[in-house]
Amino acid sequence: MRVTRITANLRVPDVDAAKRFYTDYLGSSTEEFDMGWVARCTAPGTGASVQLVTKDASAPEDSVVSVHIDDVDAAYAEAQEHGYEIVYPLTTEPWGVRRFFVRAPDGNILNIVRHREGPHR
């Protein structure tokens, strides 16, 4: 597997209120996506981004980062081989991602994800 991007997932009580700070003050945009419970704010020109999350729509716990990879099935098998705790099983979500959550040995939960198509790859 190859990591293509890592995005911080910030827990926020209100996505719309948080978006105003990241867009108005920091000059990011939310052109990539906004699903109500999660929005990605990206800085034009640099691609630096952050995801604002109120509560994950389907996983039992929230992740601290989203690790975008080229082969999520291989990553899932490798996590199992290493005996890492799978917090949320490999799932194809209705919004177009295939992902799972794994707990790192330090306790942090990572969203290991592959977008099917489009700019989220």
Domain boundaries, the chain: 3-120
Share of the chain above pLDDT 70, in %: 95
CA distance 50 to 31: 12
pLDDT in tens, 53-110: 999 999 999 999 999 999 999 999 999 999 999 999 999 999 999 999 999 999 999 9
Cα-Cα-Cα-Cα dihedral sign, residues 38, 6, 8, 88: positive
Tell me the one-letter amino acid at 16.
Answer: D
What integer pLDDT is reported at residue 27 of this predicted model?
Answer: 87
Where does 3-120 sit in CATH, by number? 3.10.180.10
Query: Are the C-beta atoms of 4 and 68 separated by less than 8 Å?
Result: yes
Give me 95's structure tokens: 């919004």
Are 50 and 41 a contacting pair, CB within 8 Å?
yes
Is the model more confident about 27 or about 99?
Answer: 99
**pTM for the whole structure:** 0.87
In which band, very low, low, confident or very high, does the pLDDT at 120 lie, cut at 50, 70 and 90? Answer: very low
